[in-house]
Structure 1
Amino acid sequence: MARKLRKKYIENELKRCQRRFQELLENINIGILIYETYDSGETFIIKDVNSGAEKIEKLTRDALIGKNVVDALPEVKSSGLLNILKRVYKTGNPEHYQIGIYKDENLTGWRDNYVYRLSTKEVVVVYKDETERKQIEEKLLKSEERYRNIFESIIEGIFQTTPNGRFILVNPALASMYGYDTPEEMITAVEDIQRLYVNPEDRLRFKRLIETHGFVKGFESSQYHKNGSQIWISINAHAVKDKEGNIICYEGTAENITLRKKAEKELLEQQEELRSLSKRLVEIEEAERKRFSQELHDTVGQNLTAISINLNIINAKIHDIVSDDIQTRLKDSLVLLEQTTEKIRNIMSDLRPSVLDDYGLLAALKWYGRIFSSRTGINVTVGGVESHERLNPSIENALFRITQEALTNTAKHSRATDVYINLNIDDGGVCLTIYDNGKGFDTSLRMRNKNFEDPDPLNEKGEEKARWGLINMRERAISVKGELKVESEKGKGTKVIVNVPKVYDQ
């Protein structure tokens, strides 16, 4: 009786184990196929299949069980899995085998198979559908390949560095930029990026900027080439941070701007040469003005004075002798001589005002303001306090001529009624301000049309002269190491501001 009960118990336990095993097979997210063979492993018949295999193969249990595996699942033969089944059956050694199923070079299926032989001589294939994961991997590989092709073929240098100054990643363009044959050579050779900088302070400034703002744009610095020569590099980079906000690395692009820098240097040198030439021409012009004015004074002026004295003496001597007609002509000649003398004086003043030489810039500005006002009817107010010491003559000349040019522009273009001139000299330097209450202009429009005042297309000739007048004013300011700025707004007048370093006459 006890033996029967024990047997019954064992049978029930076996049934429970079978149910658990079956439930396990049906609920796990993998496919299981059990094969049996009746011809020593030449032909394999599907004996059992779980629900996972049904889902993967998209076939029902009834469509699979009892079928020759080659008929039910043709890819088993084409993929080579059938040979694995035969080998495992014969050797008893489990094997891992992956199957890739492709259609028109596109991956349509991927199986990760583990093949075992049971003690019952049945062969079990446990496998998982890895198609989605494999497709993602292949897309990533293709994307990485595209990125790598771009990375290696782009003409801009690409880099990734540690904050401490070691290269992590370098593309061929960057390595070539610095004279290295390969990125690997550059990464190995450059142990401290700061040593690449001609001025090591530039590297520290780069780090301060990127750590403060998170990026740098157009950061230019002179750096060393592998052969020891110097090259100019422009860098765009940003900081890569972890979740806590700590900087992991810097990454960005670099461009070799050596040729551009060389061209800029040559252009600056040419500009400096032109300005030196311009300054010299201004000096020659002023010297010639002074010489010509002196010549007029010493020769023409004195001769005209002598003629005037002689005519007045003649007029007194023959007053009672000659006819009224001759006396009238003589008086007309004296008036004409006086007018000519006055015109010569004006020409002499325009060429080189003696008041500028004798009394200084402020006095000359006040004198010229009175003359300008009498000629144009525009009120001119001159203010300021001149220093006890005379400025360098070149500064006085430049500021006086700038004032003349600005007032000429005002008379021709602004329609102003009042002009205010202020001269300020202090420890900061010399500041000359010329403001009119005219119609003003749109400075942005002027820049587009390259005109100084009103950008009227009907007045191209006058505006061209005004533009060259502004250029002349700027060049005069630059010739004495000054800066000229024009401020204007339509309907609100125009202001010319000139700032010059203070240099006294030696």
Structure 2
Amino acid sequence: MTSSGRNEALDTENARLRAMLAHAEEVSELEKLQLARTLHNEFGSALTALAMRMALLARQPADAPGAAEQWAKANAILAGLTRTARQVQSELRPGALDVVGLKMALEEYLADFGERHAIGVTLALPDDELALEPAQAVALFRMFQELLTNVRLHAGASQVQASLALDGPARKVTLSVADNGAGFDAAACDLQRSHGLRRIAERAAFFGGAMQLDSAAGQGTRVAVTLALANPSPNHRSTDPLDN
């Protein structure tokens, strides 16, 4: 390669990295905005309702008619706040990911997703453990979250089939999420206008992987992400720029 060719390739790579970092900042701000809305809409209104109930109870004798009902409603609000807090915590960093690994984290998150949104879910997992870098495991989990968010917001699906498949000889792992929803024309999909899919594609590319999209109107959607397996190294510090 000539010197001008190397410079051109370097400029192209630098431009790609700048675009990825700029998008990472955009994603970070969008996620902060979503978290702020969750805290405002769910925590704010629930705390206001709880404060009103407690104020009513404070003005009543413990054995006053209706006091038990008010206490029950106050406890129900507290239970809802606890569920929301756990959900927010899981979105920020799933505890199972650090404690028992990616497979259990995916299983717990999908089960909770199906229960919260009344969607039937199935998950196929490999028997073997995965030789993933910690950053790869986090990236796969974030992409899983993003895919399920897309299902919830856009698919109108009643069923989701997910899988994590291990190809030992090829040293690859594939995460797949398929739904039976509305679908769309995949050939006409512009990733630059689809923040969720663009995030997934860029995360996959950062780890040397790829995203495959299959969809058609009325036939549901399947998205698969394939990453190369790597032996964890204590000296390796690869960090997903979209998870900062």
TM-score, normalised relative to structure 2? 0.69
Q: Give secondary structure in 1 for the equivalent of 2:208.
A: coil
Name the structure 2 match of 1:385. 126
How many residue pairs get aligned? The number is: 209
- 1:134-149 correspondence to structure 2 within 5 Å: none
Q: Which runs of 5+ in 2 are unaligned?
A: 36-53, 234-244
> Could you say which structure has the higher helix fraction?
2
One-letter code aligned to 1:272: L
Q: Secondary structure at the match of 1:396?
A: helix
Task: State how far apart, in whole Å, the 1-side matches of 2:199 and 2:127 are.
Answer: 25
Cα deviation code 1:188-227 (max 9, x no counterpart): xxxxxxxxxxxxxxxxxxxxxxxxxxxxxxxxxx46xxxx
Measure the CA separation in 1 of the matches of 2:8 and 2:175. 35
Aligned: 1:269 with 2:24: no
Q: State the one-letter code of the partner of 2:199.
A: N
Residues 191 and 198, structure 2, Cα contact 8 Å, conserved in 1: no
Deviation at 1:266, TM superposition (A): 0.5
Gaps of 5+ in 1: 1-221, 224-229, 232-257, 293-310, 453-463
Over aligned residues, Cα RMSD in angstroms? 3.7
Partner of 2:125, secondary structure, is strand
SS in 2 for 1:490: coil
The Cα of 1:437 is off from its aligned counterpart by 2.4
Q: How does 1:62-461 map to 2 (within 5 A)?
A: 222=1, 230=3, 262-275=7-20, 322-388=63-129, 391-427=132-168, 428=170, 429-446=172-189, 450=190
Distance in 1 of aligned mates of 2:183 and 2:62: 64
Distance in 1, matches of 2:195 and 2:95, equals 27
Aligned equivalents of 2:208 and 2:22: distance in 1? 14
CA gap 1:442/1:325 in 2 versus in 1, 3 angstroms: closer
Q: 1:394–1:480: 8 Å Cα contact kept in structure 2?
A: no
Indicate the structure whose relative CO is greater, using CA pairs within 8 Å and at least 6 residues apart. Answer: 2
The alpha-carbon distance between structure 1 residues 277 and 357, as it changes in their structure 2 partners (threshold 3 A), is farther
Whose radius of gyration is greater, 1 or 2? Answer: 1
Match of 1:490 in 2: 217
> 2:41 — aligned with what?
none
AA partner of residue 445 (structure 1) = A
CA contact (8 A) 1:365 1:400 kept: yes
Provide the C-alpha distance between the structure 2 equivalents of 1:364 and 1:386, rounded to a whole number of angstroms.
15
| Structure 1 residue 501 corresponds to structure 2 residue 244 | no
Counterpart CA distance in 2 for 1:418 and 1:280 is: 33
Q: State the Cα distance separating 1:451 from its structure 2 match.
A: 6.1
Quick one: distance in 2 between partners of 1:386 and 1:280? 37
Q: Provide the C-alpha distance between the structure 1 equivalents of 2:217 and 2:153, rounded to a whole number of angstroms.
A: 16
